């Protein structure tokens, strides 16, 4: 019984839809860049007149200029993070709870496979889809920028660093979804949980930006991998990244042992 192949096929349709959404988002938003960049002074003046709190909430620091390619892409990537955050949380909640929601657990566990193998193969299928999504983000990023950068130069190094953080960012939300699955008796609506985590942690980071300080930021990957910091500074905040990775490893460990002992409801 090839659980991995079956699970991979079940994700393929949703992966296609998410990918099309990510590609469309990047292209549509980058279309407006040439027009904005041609009047750089006007754009900077508009930015100066925006409330600082609003700019911080949108992930745009005082040193970010929408007239530059990377400055504008900072604004675009915030929305990309929202999409992949919701998608990753959705898969995290989905891949362990589907048998209970669709009442197929009794069929699956009646097969001659261990619960450990079921968990690992289902996980690998979801993880593969996340990696493919990361590749879609990378490809659509470079394509959209090359198409609509209006011939303006930009540093490719910081952009590569930002894209390098995508898999870790995905795993953070995926891990949250897994924890909720093993800690909840039954998830009736996966998308509601995914939207709550994706937008909730974004709002938390926006609130942190407004009130200042770093404490609230420790709980949200939007702060750990802040696009404005990575693209403007040309480096990944190592301390914040370690927090994300530590949380991911902890969540994976808890999920593994909890799932093996979980009383899974069937019919």
pLDDT greater than 90 at residue 71: no
Between helix 115-148 and helix 156-164 the angle, nearest 10°, is 160
- The Cα 170–Cα 137 span in angstroms is 12
* Three-class secondary structure of residue 198 per DSSP: helix
State how far the alpha carbon of 118 is from the alpha carbons of 29, 149, 214, 230, in Å.
41, 46, 39, 38
C-alpha distance across the termini of the chain, in Å: 22
- The Cα 6–Cα 19 span in angstroms is 20
Contact 179, 89 (CB under 8 A): no
- Reference 181, options 126, 242, 219; nearest CA is 126
Tell me what percent of the residues of the chain surpass a pLDDT of 70: 83
Mean pLDDT of the chain: 85
- The Cα 223–Cα 155 span in angstroms is 22
Total-model pTM: 0.89
Q: What confidence score (pLDDT) does residue 115 get?
A: 79
For 12-49, the pLDDT digits (tens) are 999 999 999 999 999 999 998 888 777 766 666 766 66
| Band of residue 67 on the pLDDT scale cut at 50, 70, 90 | confident
Exposure string of 234-261, with b = 16+ CB inside 10 Å and e = fewer, is eebbeebbebbeebbeebeeebeeebee
For 164-200, the pLDDT digits (tens) are 999 999 999 999 999 988 877 777 778 888 899 999 9
Range among 41-50, 78-87, 96-105 with highest mean pLDDT value: 78-87
Q: What confidence score (pLDDT) does residue 61 get?
A: 62
For 190-211, the pLDDT digits (tens) are 888 889 999 999 989 888 887 8
Q: What confidence score (pLDDT) does residue 23 get?
A: 96
- Reference 264, options 100, 26, 98, 27; nearest CA is 100
Between helix 166-183 and helix 69-101 the angle, nearest 10°, is 30
Mean pLDDT, range 218-238, rounded to an integer: 90
């Amino acid at each position: 019984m090839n659980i991995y192949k079956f699970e991979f096929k079940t994700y393929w349709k949703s992966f296609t839809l998410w990918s099309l959404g990510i590609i469309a988002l990047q292209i549509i938003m980058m279309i407006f860049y040439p027009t904005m960049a041609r009047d750089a002074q006007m754009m900077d003046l508009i930015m100066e007149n925006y409330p600082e709190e609003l700019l911080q909430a949108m992930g745009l620091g005082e040193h970010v200029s929408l007239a530059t390619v990377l400055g504008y892409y900072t604004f675009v990537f915030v929305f990309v993070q929202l999409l992949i955050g919701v998608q990753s949380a959705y898969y995290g909640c989905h891949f362990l709870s589907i048998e209970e929601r669709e009442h197929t657990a009794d069929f699956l566990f009646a097969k001659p496979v261990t619960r450990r193998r079921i968990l690992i193969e289902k996980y690998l299928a979801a993880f593969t889809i996340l990696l493919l999504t990361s590749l879609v983000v990378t490809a659509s990023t470079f394509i959209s920028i090359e198409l609509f950068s209006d011939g303006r130069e930009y540093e490719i190094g910081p952009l590569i660093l930002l894209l390098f953080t995508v898999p870790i960012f995905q795993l953070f939300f995926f891990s949250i979804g897994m924890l909720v699955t093993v800690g909840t008796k039954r998830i009736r609506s996966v998308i509601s949980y995914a939207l709550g985590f994706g937008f909730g942690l974004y709002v938390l980071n926006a609130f942190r930006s407004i009130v200042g300080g770093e404490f609230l930021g420790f709980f949200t990957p939007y702060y750990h991998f802040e696009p404005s910091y990575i693209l403007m500074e040309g480096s990944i905040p190592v301390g914040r990244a370690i927090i994300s990775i530590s949380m991911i490893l902890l969540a994976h460990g808890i999920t593994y042992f909890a799932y093996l002992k979980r009383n899974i409801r069937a019919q």
